A and B are shown apart, each in its own frame.
Chain A
Amino acid sequence: MTAFLTIIIVLFIAIAIWQMVKIFDLAQVGASNSQIADDKDNKLNGYLMIGFLVFIYVITIVSIVKWGDLPLLSNSASEHGPQIDNLMTISLVIIFIVQTITQFLLHYFAFKYKGEKGRKALFYADNNKLEAIWTIIPVITLAGLIIYGLFTWTSIMNVDEDADPLVVELYAQQFNWKARYAGQDNVLGMANVRLIDNDRANILGLDEADPNAQDDVITTELHLPVGKPVLFKMRSQDVLHSAYMPHFRAQMNCVPGMITQFAFTPTITTAEMRQNPDIVDKVKNINDIRTEKSKELVAGGDEALDPYEFDYLLLCNKICGKSHYNMQMKIIVETQEEYDAWIKEQATFKNTITAN
């Protein structure tokens, strides 16, 4: 209904604009109007430039105040998360400063030097010193950012094999995720899509002959023990997907024909995160929105929405087809004991595969 109304309004606006423009245009015929800006235009647009500068500042501040409390800038739930968040914050501050200054200069000059008949501009074609300054300042700033960035990147992407990470495969297919745990031996069994045999429940194409595959565990929920490094091996059976785990500041594409990897250490359990005051606020806010919406739905004869409870998520973040927008998996970070109890209850590959 809202949409319908909007369309009607938009159509009306469009027609109104067209008509207004026409009248406006006709009204000018005859006026000795050269269609070249005169002093009056310069003045008006000069003032509007200042107005626009204010608009840019206002939209920046409003955006920061209203939407700047970003989940991606705080409450990261992995060991390397704060590193990224720091770098991001520093970059944002630099951007904010540069943006504020340069937009000021641009719009202020546009206002200050608005044309007047009879005034002559300054003939000023070059100044090597000035240009050297604004080459060197970005060079230094960027050098700092590059160095910081590269250290961060290298430390995130280097997998520390000595830390004895828990090995988990993330398996993508149109349009869902599976996780495969390496089992007791912590070595994933060999697998290839050519071995997939859905009739016998070999859905990920594990090699039945591989001893390492026997104790592998395939699940539809991702459970991770807190504080333990996890090494993800990503695989896709059909098209590109991307395993995006925003709370952990983690992302890697899943590429058919290739195994990609990403490692991180979760630091906050789901239960702890649900107690975090920021998250409590966010959840409450979301639930208020959902309650409002539910009222509308119920009035229209539909079912109300379920209340929202915080969970970590794995989202697909590479266009993969029709249901790309709904390709997700729940991630649960828990204590080692809880994790051990959970994994013990999962059936191993050996036990789920059906006989020929």
Chain B
Amino acid sequence: MSAHADTHAHDDHGHHHKETFVTKYIFSMDHKMIAKQYLITGTIMGIIGIVMSLMFRMQIAWPEEPNVLFEALLGKWAPNGVMDADIYLALVTIHGTIMVFFVLTAGLSGTFSNLLIPLQIGARDMASGFLNMVSYWLFFLSSVIMVLSLFVEAGPAAAGWTIYPPLSALPMAQGGSGAGMTLWLVAMAIFIASSLLGSLNYVVTVINLRTKGMSMTRLPLTIWAFFVTAIIGIISFPVLLSAALLLIMDRSFGTSFFLSDIFIQGEVLHYQGGSPVLFEHLFWFLGHPEVYIVLLPALGITSEIISTNSRKPIFGYRAMVVSILAIAFLSTIVWGHHMFVSGMNPFLGSVFTFTTLLIAIPSAVKAFNYITTLWKGNLQMNPAMLFSIGLVSTFITGGLTGIILGDSALDINVHDTYFVVAHFHLVMGISALYGMFAGIYHWYPKMFGRMMNKNLGYIHFWITAICAYGVFFPMHFIGMAGLPRRYYTNSNFPLFDDLANVNVVITVFALIGGAFQLVFLYNFFSSMFFGKKAEQNPWKSNTLEWTTPVEHVHGNWPGEIPHVHRWAYDYSKPGHEADFVPQNVPLMDGEEELQH
């Protein structure tokens, strides 16, 4: 397959070979088109996910009050406009699932791994264009199923995005655990298949298709991040798949992998000998690495953008690579920090506390290296740069509270409270979302051949940045006051009455922040048609994607693939006139390549 793609691109680039609308825009095998397909699908899922979060935030701020929006959007689930408790949990569940998997895994990795891996390593396409296409269409299918599950009679899955059994296994425990959960599981199984195909393709491509001179130590950090992310995905997603399959068996074929001794609705069920704790282990064996599957690509994108826009080499390239690898390795041995109070042996809790706090070290190294990259730079404040700086900021704020949650003794009291919600949204959700925005603003010219409007980008960034802190910062405090998450209303606890006004503040920030995403959507869609035409290398960047023509061609480069002679970060290198030296520029006489 790959040999074919390669030779055909080589030989055919002069004359056009026939492409129909269908092969060009729908069943495309071109990585650039597939990247756009991922991006658009991810954006649509993102809109759904965010609207859901705004709805349940309104419920929390103004509990049980009639709301026309609920009536309009939720129909029978909001009689007289009052949100039902079941649908509240369903909204939370689907919001979490969509944001984590559909937006920030497929939407982020799918878009930028696909776009950048071939372009930045100097390849004509992915190793297998066909598998790449299949991967996208499986993702599309799983998105469709996930969205369809919202319309199931008894309600969509509502057991939390972690779908712990027995709640998720027993239809009599919760309406959403019937057909809704079945569809959720099917959608996720297809999603995992899609993700595995994608990841395998990325890994093979990075290993085999690098252009001449592109040694591993000259790879841009984006590629390192995508590469390692794909490996983590390959290691951990199959475990979630097996958990899902075992859960399907418990649900449909009466096995007892996760269930035992259950009495519900007046009857004893036959299950015997299984354990929900086993499910938790399997789930988090994916679930924790998933956090880094979401985050690492965002960090890779940020590395590239901060360096380019600082007109300065990324500080500590080697340390950055080592910390990506360290984070990847550690991320697979820390899952138990989600289970300190699950009933597992307290000694295991100690082990996981130890490994978890270790992961703070490579994370700290990364944060300091970003800050040092800014130091004495010549910062070009493009929207992509703002989002990258914003990412470093939320990554620090969110990461620091990990020190508390990773400490088993402290987790006892903040586990499953809003403190956790604050922590993971900042460190994973918002950071990765910023990474995605940064990537979009930065590579938009590469994707669509046009520029996005920068002033709209500034408005988008500043309002989003303020609202993100406004939403998630106060959540730490209501969490430390003991407010549990996944509560439909707090009005049954007078104890929490003094937190009601905080919840209103949070929701108001969320509504404003949500509304201003329209600025982005407008900019994104209108620039496709009316944006200013892009130059070939608008950000004066060193990486190879900017050596391709603005108009996309099949096979990426009309002529030979450029050879690489240096790393990607020769910005403002002494001895050079320009403040950037692209990777394909040979070393000058007497010029030395940095030892890294």
Contact = CB atoms under 8 A, between A and B. Distances in A.
Contacts of B50: none
Given A45-B381, A122-B377, A102 B371 contact: yes
A230 to B, nearest CB: 16
Contacts of B594: 125-126
Contacts of A319: 89, 159-160, 164, 167, 486
Interface string A113-141: 11110011111111100110011001100
Contacts of B502: 67
A290 B497 CA distance: 8
B586 interface: no
A70 to B, nearest CB: 5
Contacts of A244: 416, 482, 484
Chain A interface mostly:
helix
Interface in B439-455: 451-455
Given A45-B381, A124-B313, A22 B477 contact: no
Given A2-B62, A319-B89, A123 B487 contact: no
A3 B62 contact: yes
A115 B477 contact: no
Interface in B481-538: 481-482, 484, 486-490, 492-495, 497-500, 502, 511-512, 515-516, 518-519, 522-523, 526, 531-532, 538
Interface stretch (B11-19, B125-133, B404-412): B404-412
A184 interface: no
Nearest to B175: A322
Interface stretch (A188-196, A213-221, A267-275, A348-356): A188-196
Nearest to B402: A95
Given A131-B316, A324-B486, A84 B67 contact: no
A303 B198 CA distance: 59
A156 B408 CA distance: 10
A165 interface: no
A328 B493 contact: yes
Contacts, number: 428
Contact of B396 (A99, A114, A318): A99
B515 A14 contact: yes
Most chain A beta-carbon contacts within 10 A, residue among B393, B492, B526 = B393
Interface stretch (B201-209, B353-361, B430-438): B353-361
Nearest to B489: A325
Contacts of A13: 512, 515
Interface residues of A, number: 134
Nearest to A136: B361
Nearest to A139: B361
A157 B349 contact: yes
A246 interface: yes
Nearest to A241: B167
A46 to B, nearest CB: 7
A205 B264 CA distance: 13
B404 A6 contact: no
Contacts of B319: 131
Contacts of A124: 312-313, 315, 372, 375-376
Interface in A313-353: 313, 315-326, 328
B371 A3 contact: no
Nearest to B368: A134
A32 to B, nearest CB: 10
5 contacts: A1-B65, A138-B360, A138-B361, A145-B407, A174-B173
Interface of A: 1-4, 6-7, 10, 13-14, 17-18, 21-22, 24-25, 28, 33-37, 41-42, 44-46, 48-49, 52, 55-56, 59-60, 63, 67-68, 70-73, 83-84, 87-88, 91-92, 94-95, 98-99, 102-103, 105-107, 109-110, 113-116, 119-127, 130-131, 134-135, 138-139, 142, 145-146, 149-150, 152-154, 156-158, 173-174, 192-194, 196, 198, 205, 234, 237-240, 242, 244, 246, 249-253, 255-258, 260, 282, 285-286, 289-290, 305, 308, 313, 315-326, 328
